[in-house]
Amino acid sequence: MGRNLGIVLGVLAATGIWQGCRDQQKGPEPVFRHDLSEGPRPWNSEAFEPTETDFTFAIISDLNGGERPGVFSRAVAQLNQLDPTFVLSVGDLIDGGTEDELQLQKEWDFFDARADKLQMPFFHLGGNHDLTNVKMREFWARRYGPRYYHFVFDNVLFLMIDSEDYTEDRMQEIYQARDSAIRILDGELEGSYPESTYYRMPERNLGGMGSEQLTYFREVLQQYPDVRWTFLLMHKPLWLRNDGMSLSRDVAPLEALETALEGRKYTVINGHFHRFSHRKRNGMDYMILGTTGGSQVEGDSTAFDHVSLVRMGETPVITHLRMDGILQAEGHLPPAQDPPRP
């Protein structure tokens, strides 16, 4: 999208209306031509954008927590039509929740078989389904490298944050409690999910960020003090919500990093809840995305499949596109066809 539009607008902007060169010197060949030499004209301006200095990137949200077949494959086809410069994720890319490496291999192969059909770069980020236990963390490291990282594109800084950054002991406690809770939901164990240990854990709704990761991103911010914008992507929110869903924690991990962000323009984006919401915090946009194939609560108007496009000009222009409204030229949705599972 950005690439093709940039070419057209750049040429359109060259000279405006073609009038010829009285001094016989040839100027840039114009694209906009007409034969109206006088009188009213049926357009409102000839001040075309001189050049396109922005770029556009896309974000996908949760696939899992009950993935619905075909949705992500359809999103890939739609993103290829929209043609962003690159695509980011906010985690929960596989079902996960296992220590079986053969199963993990199959699930990641299935995800990558679909993601690799994108015609632009894709950036992985892990969620609680992707980094449920220590073995899954080790599997991620072998396949994708660091769980948290940063990059700069066109003087815009991206912080890709691991919100499952707990000590190994605490990660194991969360994993075991989560596994028991899932068994209760599946009817394999007796009990009530709202009374389970996992349900009462603050980590169920609020992410973790260890001191090593915090130091890393503080140093990154010091390294890039003058970027034109900073985006922070994570799976679980690392900031306290004001809707009573942050459970018992009084302090959120992101607060220390928010101090380092003071005076800087930034946007925070996460997933995890499968419901879209937006709020202002510290005068900046904090948003929770919906789904790109993950489970949804029937009848919840904030639960919908979408991709998010961010056009990065002087400030970001964020547009959330519901997948059921992104149609092919014939007026149909792209096919929702997954490749065979490994």
- Residue-wise pLDDT for 74-84, tens only, equals 999 999 999 99
Alpha-carbon distance of 321 to 88, in angstroms, equals 15
DSSP 8-state code for residue 261: H
Tokens matching residue 67:
């993935």
> What mean pLDDT do residues 107-111 have?
96
Banded pLDDT at 136 (limits 50, 70, 90): very high
pTM: 0.85
DSSP conformational letter for 333: P
Query: Listing from the earlier edge strand, what are the strands of the sheet with 229-233?
Result: 149-153, 156-160, 229-233, 266-270, 284-288, 277-281
Q: What's the pLDDT at 49?
A: 63
The whole-number pLDDT of residue 308 equals: 98
Query: What average pLDDT score do residues 111-131 get?
Result: 95
For residue 12, pLDDT beyond 50: no
Look at residue 50 and tell me whether its pLDDT is greater than 70. Answer: no
pLDDT of residue 249: 55
* Sign of the Cα pseudo-torsion (167, 169, 170, 172, in order): positive
Distances (CA, A) of 331 to 5, 17, 40, 324: 22, 35, 36, 11
What integer pLDDT is reported at residue 41 of this predicted model?
A: 83
Place 40 in a pLDDT band, splitting at 50, 70 and 90.
confident
Q: What is the mean pLDDT of residues 139-152?
A: 94
Q: Which of 43-47, 159-163, 207-211, 328-332 has the lowest mean pLDDT?
A: 43-47
Give pLDDT, residue 54: 82
Beta bridge pairs of residue 291: 62, 305
Q: Which of 83, 143, 154, 129 is nearest to 312 (CA)?
A: 154
Residue 81 structure tokens: 């039509």
Cβ-Cβ contacts under 8 Å for 289 (sequence gap 6 or more): 59, 61, 62, 90, 269, 270, 271, 276, 306, 308, 320
User: Looking at residue 6, what is its pLDDT?
Assistant: 43
Read off the amino acid at residue 215.
T
Confidence of residue 240 (pLDDT cuts 50, 70, 90): confident
Q: How confident is the model at residue 13 (pLDDT cuts 50, 70, 90)?
A: very low
- The two beta strands, 306-312 and 316-322, are antiparallel
Q: What is the mean pLDDT of residues 129-139?
A: 96
